[in-house]
């Protein structure tokens, strides 16, 4: 046996009840969604060192008043002091519980992929850690490059509007964003003598009496925003809760900073792509145009064009460049600009236009290929002559027919040593609409090619008669029918272009 000297002692100054304070874990259990837990949210053992995590926590974190001690049944009995080993075990159990809670909350956070989802998760987790019910986070990067947004938890849009009417210097998150202070707790707002009158009015209207605010600061980018949680009654988080939410906020700030950079890159690519496309569609007698364009998060090479040509004609074009990202967007801009020049010179012959475009692509960018379709339209005659290079066939939509235009099978531009395919000519009836689109519309469905074409055909045939005279309504209906449940707006690696040309 080990001979331990009697001088060795374990000193524990804080009572185990104060050290363990399981309100944080209890709040986390309340915050966790009800249902079958996943691998990262597996329930912990029901008891750790004698602590039952299923006991509900109080609504706020104000320390409860100590209960009056009951008279012992036997006045001669003297309570024995707790063993030092048991006190140390309770303290270690509290530390393990805190680390487990932070681990699970940060795991939830890092699984978010969008800025909005991450901000919402930050608010929910922070509310569980500080014992609050409501809050808001203001994203305002210090470099002024955006994005700027405000998201609330338990607060509607009108409530956020009321809070934003409070002078910036009179509200905690405003002072944090201005660099006037860091973490701040206001345990009893309505009792403060120097509280701004407008802030007092808004707090009384919305029913909050205390707040706890934290800065969101990343190591590389500096301050990117602030978060504040609101209590319904005068209250303040304990020191332990403040420590835990501070650790969580520091980790969350780094994750938010990365998502901010991703959001900025996506916005930059989307702006570049839109600027390289027509700012508006031309107006031509006898024809109305509408277009819908959806860009993927990485920026793609799908494009469209509509340009007036001599003799009251109109040139319509859609195409797609292989690849994604800035290089594909730049290649798309060069290809579209070249096609416009060729269309002005020899637009009556779509085959010649695409042949020149193929030669240019093969000489200047031999490692890249593209699909394209060019149509020479004569609105007065409702006549269209078109040629395609590896592109999807147009769809003709009318009251009496909904059919794909028969086009010859041809390879994409840049795939063969010399491209050439015959053109196709067809006549449209009054009131009919021609739909030109890129293959991204079909790819986003997730179906096989034949089923995707069938879905597109059914969507076009199902356009209500009341909408068939409006190309904008037709484009919206077809897009929502082919890509239901918000798939037309959801992020995807595939760009989508849908160009509708309606003949009067």
Pair (214, 311) in one structural domain: no
On the question of a cis peptide bond just before residue 57, with omega within 30 degrees of 0, the verdict is no
Q: 231 and 241 in contact (C-beta within 8 Å)? A: no
Q: What is the mean pLDDT of residues 149-157?
A: 95
Pair (236, 308) in one structural domain: no
Mean pLDDT of all residues belonging to the chain: 83
**For the chain, percent of residues with pLDDT exceeding 70:** 83
* Residue, of 20 and 330, whose pLDDT is higher: 330
Count CB-CB contacts under 10 A for residue 42.
Answer: 8
Pair (204, 222) in one structural domain: yes
Pair (366, 469) in one structural domain: yes
Q: What is the mean pLDDT of residues 51-68?
A: 38
Q: 354 and 386 in contact (C-beta within 8 Å)? A: no
Could you tell me if residue 4 is inside a domain?
no
Pair (314, 218) in one structural domain: no
Could you tell me if residue 411 is inside a domain?
yes
Which of 247, 270, 293 marks a domain boundary?
Answer: 270
Pair (331, 230) in one structural domain: no
Give me Rg for the CA atoms of the chain. Answer: 33
Domain with residue 328: its CATH number is 3.60.40.10
pLDDT score at 415: 83
Distances 111 to 38, 118, 421, 428, 482 between C-alpha atoms, Å: 13, 9, 49, 51, 29
**Per residue in 292-342, pLDDT tens?**
998 876 777 899 999 999 999 999 999 999 888 888 888 889 999 999 999
Could you tell me if residue 96 is inside a domain?
no
Could you tell me if residue 401 is inside a domain?
yes
Q: 132 and 212 in contact (C-beta within 8 Å)? A: yes
Lowest mean pLDDT among 47-61, 98-112, 173-187, 264-278: 47-61
Could you tell me if residue 46 is inside a domain?
no
Which of 239, 270, 301 marks a domain boundary?
Answer: 270
Pair (311, 184) in one structural domain: no
Q: How far apart are CA 457 and CA 439, in angstroms?
A: 14
**Per residue in 176-205, pLDDT tens?**
999 998 999 999 998 988 899 999 999 999
Could you tell me if residue 298 is inside a domain?
yes
175 exposure class (CB count in 10 Å sphere: 0-12, 13-18, 19+): middle
Q: What is the mean pLDDT of residues 412-420?
A: 78
Pair (113, 257) in one structural domain: yes
Domain containing residue 297: 276-503
Domain count, the chain: 2
pLDDT score at 11: 39
pLDDT score at 81: 59
Could you tell me if residue 95 is inside a domain?
no
Which of 246, 270, 294 marks a domain boundary?
Answer: 270
Pair (345, 213) in one structural domain: no
pLDDT score at 325: 80
Task: Determine phi and psi for 86, rounding to 5 degrees.
Answer: -70, -40
Q: How far apart are CA 212 and CA 222, in angstroms?
A: 21
Q: How far apart are CA 483 and CA 188, in angstroms?
A: 51
**For the chain, percent of residues with pLDDT exceeding 90:** 59
pLDDT range class, residue 80, cuts 50, 70, 90: low
């Amino acid at each position: 046996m080990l001979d331990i000297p009697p001088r060795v002692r374990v000193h524990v100054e804080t009572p185990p009840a104060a050290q363990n304070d399981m309100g944080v874990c209890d709040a986390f259990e309340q915050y966790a969604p009800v249902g079958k837990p996943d691998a990262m949210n597996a329930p912990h053992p029901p008891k750790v060192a004698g602590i039952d995590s299923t006991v509900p926590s109080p609504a706020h974190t104000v320390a409860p008043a100590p209960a009056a001690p009951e008279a012992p049944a036997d006045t001669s009995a003297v309570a024995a002091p707790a063993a030092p080993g048991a006190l140390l075990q309770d303290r270690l159990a509290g530390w393990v519980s805190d680390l487990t809670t932070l681990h699970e909350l940060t795991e939830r956070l890092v699984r978010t992929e969008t800025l909005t989802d991450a901000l919402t998760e930050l608010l929910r987790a922070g509310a569980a850690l500080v014992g609050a019910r409501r809050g808001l986070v203001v994203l305002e990067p210090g470099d002024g490059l955006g994005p700027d947004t405000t998201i609330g938890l338990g607060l509607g849009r009108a409530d956020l509007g009321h809070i934003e009417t409070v002078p910036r210097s009179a509200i905690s998150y405003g002072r944090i964003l201005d660099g006037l202070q860091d973490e701040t707790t206001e345990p009893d707002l309505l009792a403060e003598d120097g509280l701004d009158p407008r802030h007092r009015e808004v707090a009384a209207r919305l029913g909050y009496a205390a707040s706890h605010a934290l800065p969101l600061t990343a190591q590389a980018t500096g301050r990117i925003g602030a978060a504040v949680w609101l209590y319904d009654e005068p209250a303040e988080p304990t020191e332990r809760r403040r420590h835990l939410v501070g650790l969580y906020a520091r980790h969350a700030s780094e994750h938010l900073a990365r998502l901010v950079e991703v959001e900025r890159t996506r916005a930059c690519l989307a702006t570049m792509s839109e600027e390289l496309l027509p700012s508006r569609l031309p107006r031509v007698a006898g024809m109305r145009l509408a277009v819908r364009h959806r860009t993927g998060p990485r920026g793609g090479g799908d494009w469209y064009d509509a340009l007036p040509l001599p003799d009251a004609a109109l040139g319509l074009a859609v195409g797609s460049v292989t690849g994604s990202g800035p290089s594909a967007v730049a290649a798309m801009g060069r290809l579209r600009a070249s096609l416009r020049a060729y269309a002005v010179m020899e637009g009556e012959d779509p085959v010649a236009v695409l042949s020149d475009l193929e030669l240019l692509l093969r000489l200047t960018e031999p490692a890249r290929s593209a699909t394209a379709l060019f149509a020479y339209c004569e609105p007065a005659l409702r006549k269209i002559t078109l040629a395609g290079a590896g592109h999807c066939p147009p769809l003709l939509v009318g009251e009496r027919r909904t059919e794909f235009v028969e086009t010859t099978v041809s390879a994409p531009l840049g795939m063969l040593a010399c491209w050439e395919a015959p053109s196709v000519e067809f006549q449209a009836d009054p009131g009919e609409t021609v739909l030109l689109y890129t293959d991204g519309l079909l790819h986003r469905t997730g179906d096989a090619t034949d089923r995707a074409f069938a879905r597109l055909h059914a969507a076009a045939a199902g356009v209500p008669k009341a909408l068939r005279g409006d190309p904008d309504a037709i484009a919206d209906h077809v897009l929502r029918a082919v890509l239901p449940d918000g798939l037309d707006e959801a992020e995807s690696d595939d760009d989508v272009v849908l160009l509708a040309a309606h003949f009067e």
